[in-house]
Amino acid sequence: MMRHLYCTAGAGMEELLAEEVQHKLCASQVEQIPGRVFFCCEADLYTVTQLKSAERLFLLLRKAEPISLPKNPAKAAAVIKERVVGDPDIWKQALLTWTALQKELQSSQQRGYKRRREEDEEERLTVADESTHTLTSSTHLLNKTSEMDKESYQHTPSFRVSCRCSGVIARSYTAQRLSRIIGMAIKEHLGWKVDLREPVFEVNVYLSDDHCVVGIPLLKRPLASRSYMKHNGLRSTIAWAMTSLCPKQNAVFLGMDTETSQLQKAAENLKASGMEGRVQLLRSSAIEIPLADGTVDVVLCDVPFGRKFSCSSDMPTALPHLLREMERVIRVGGHLVLLLSLQLSAQLKKIICTHKHNQHLNSSDTNNVHTDPSNICNESTDKPKALTFHKSSSEALNTPLLISSLQAQRTHKVSLGSTDAFIHTYTKIQHSH
The answer as to whether 230 is a domain residue is no
The answer as to whether 228 is a domain residue is no
pLDDT tens profile 128-153: 444 333 333 444 444 444 454 444 44
Q: Are residues 165 and 305 in the same domain?
A: no
Q: Which of 156, 189, 217 finishes a domain?
A: 217
Measured over all CA atoms, what is the biggest interatomic distance in the chain, rounded to whole angstroms?
83
Secondary structure of residue 340 in the 3-state scheme:
strand
Secondary structure string (H, E, C) spanning 411-432: EEEEECCCCEEEEEEEEECCCC
pLDDT of residue 110: 66
Query: Cα–Cα–Cα angle for 176, 156, 137, nearest 5°?
Result: 65
pLDDT of residue 80: 83
pLDDT tens profile 376-428: 333 334 444 444 444 444 444 444 467 889 999 999 999 988 889 999 999 99
Spatial distance between the Cα atoms of 105 and 138, rounded to a whole number of angstroms: 7
Spatial distance between the Cα atoms of 384 and 379, rounded to a whole number of angstroms: 10
pLDDT of residue 109: 65
Number of structural domains found in the chain: 2
The answer as to whether 223 is a domain residue is no
Cα dihedral: 101, 102, 105, 106 (round 10): -140
Of 59, 67, 17, residue with least CA distance to 40: 59
Spatial distance between the Cα atoms of 94 and 87, rounded to a whole number of angstroms: 11
| CATH number of the domain enclosing 388 | 3.40.50.150
Residue 347, Cβ density class (10 Å: 0-12 exposed, 13-18 middle, ≥19 buried): middle
pLDDT of residue 237: 93
Of 33, 20, 14, residue with least CA distance to 244: 20
> Quick count: other Cβ atoms within 10 Å of Cβ 86?
16
pLDDT of residue 74: 83
> Quick count: other Cβ atoms within 10 Å of Cβ 88?
13
Spatial distance between the Cα atoms of 54 and 429, rounded to a whole number of angstroms: 33
Q: Which residues of the chain have pLDDT under 70?
A: 109-155, 249, 251, 306-313, 354-401, 433
Question: H/E element holding 44?
Answer: none
Host domain of residue 148: 3-217
pLDDT of residue 83: 84
pLDDT of residue 386: 44
Q: Are 35 and 53 in contact (CB under 8 A)?
A: no
The answer as to whether 64 is a domain residue is yes
pLDDT of residue 225: 86
Q: Are residues 243 and 351 in the same domain?
A: yes
Spatial distance between the Cα atoms of 410 and 125, rounded to a whole number of angstroms: 34
pLDDT of residue 365: 43
pLDDT of residue 363: 47
pLDDT of residue 367: 41
pLDDT of residue 313: 63
pLDDT of residue 354: 53
Q: Are residues 295 and 404 in the same domain?
A: yes
What is the Cα gyration radius of the chain? 26
Q: Are 54 and 17 in contact (CB under 8 A)?
A: yes
